[in-house]
Structure 1
Amino acid sequence: MKDTRKLVMMGLFVAMALVLHIVEKNIPIPFMPPRAKLGISNIITLTVLMSLGFKDALYVLVVRIILGSIFGGAISGIIYSISGGILSLLMMELTRKLGRENVSVIGISVIGAVFHNVGQLLAAAFVINNMNIFIYFPVLFLVSVGTGIFVGLTTRYLLSYLNVNNGL
């Protein structure tokens, strides 16, 4: 029974992340640089990372990216999403493990947002075979700090309402 409950929870997390991803894609944000997003679906990824762990968060992330690319009609962009998402998740997990006592969920979120952009820029540099794309990094860095704080605050608020100690 416990396996069925976890499977249902994972399905719900994927569905929530996918809905947030699709909603965000359709919300114009005038003050954001081109192609930059708030990353609100990362609220779910970070919630799963903090409550269930890395493997479950990786599952939610990858399934959300694949389905989001299919439903969003941007299959070609999957390389950017996967590279940014996986690097982001790896760095959030590393920060969570190493900074257990000193780094809050907000700090972990900011690290994730920054490295998501690094991963996407690395993928773009590989695709176009030109590292000059990193000229865009300072702008993305500033945006990612703000969006990381927003996602971290929202996740902290969400986690306070979940029963994290009992596996949700």
Structure 2
Amino acid sequence: MRRFTKITVKEIAQYGCLLAFTMIVSYVEVLFPMPIGIPGVKLGLANVAIVLCLYLFGAFPALVINVLRIILCSFLFANLYSLWYSLAGAVLSFFIMALCKRIKNFSMIGISVLGGVFHNIGQLLIAFLITEVPVLMYYIPVLIIIGTITGFINGGLAKIIYDKIHKYIVKPES
């Protein structure tokens, strides 16, 4: 594993740009909710940057950027409750995405779809643990469909961006 003392200025700038992008799109999603009539549904465009980071820099920087985004956005744009829901969804989805990327049988879009689905499941599990209302579990099929659709959209965007920029990115030294 690489030590933090070897992170270059270019890498820090790249990580900072990804974090800034995730925070901007998270804020835009707060300002303009999706008008589909299902509570709490978002495109999750911040996941585009997380998937890109996972492919460009590896799991650890992607995890750090994801957690920092959630903490900062929760304090700036939301509340303490959203912090726990977001962390649960993000951590579960991140570990599924990182594991599937290591397996190498999944495309970038497939990994993003899994991330979208497991993010929703993680948030629903937290809601169930807090409320202890079993009826919430009936929401799982809806969340799987929504996670699949949004994951496909985000994965497609990540793939298009990756194909355009990966040759210009400074890779971390091992």
| Same fold, TM-score > 0.5, yes or no | yes
Distance 2:46 2:21 in 1: 8
1:96 maps to 2:113: no
Q: 1:127 aligns with which of 125, 130, 134?
A: 130
Structure 1 stretch displaced more, 151-160 or 137-146: 137-146
% of aligned pairs identical?
Answer: 31
1:6 maps to 2:8: no
CA spacing shift, 1:32–1:146, aligned 2, 3 Å? farther
1:22 maps to 2:7: no
Q: Deviations over 1:37-71 (max 9, x none)?
A: 10001101111011101100001100000111011
Cross-structure match for 2:143: 140
CA spacing shift, 1:45–1:33, aligned 2, 3 Å? same
Give the C-alpha shift of residue 106 in structure 1. Answer: 0.5
Give the C-alpha shift of residue 2 in structure 1. Answer: 5.3
Aligned residue pairs, count = 166
Structure 1 stretch displaced more, 69-78 or 14-23: 69-78
Give the C-alpha shift of residue 32 in structure 1. Answer: 5.1
Distance 1:29 1:112 in 2: 19
Structure 1 stretch displaced more, 126-135 or 139-148: 126-135
Give the C-alpha shift of residue 28 in structure 1. Answer: 3.0
Cross-structure match for 2:39: 34
Give the C-alpha shift of residue 166 in structure 1. Answer: 4.6
Distance 2:80 2:20 in 1: 19
Letter in 1 for 2:93: S
Structure 1 alignment gaps of length 5 or more: none
**Structure 1: 4+ residue segments shifted above 4 A:** none
Structure 2 alignment gaps of length 5 or more: 1-5
Question: CA-atom RMSD, angstroms?
Answer: 1.7
What's the TM-score once normalised by structure 2's chain length?
A: 0.89
Q: Deviations over 1:66-101 (max 9, x none)?
A: 111011132221110000001000000111111x1x
Distance 1:84 1:29 in 2: 19
Distance 1:70 1:141 in 2: 28
Give the C-alpha shift of residue 27 in structure 1. Answer: 1.4
Cross-structure match for 1:160: 163
Q: 1:74 aligns with which of 79, 85, 99?
A: 79
Distance 1:58 1:96 in 2: 14
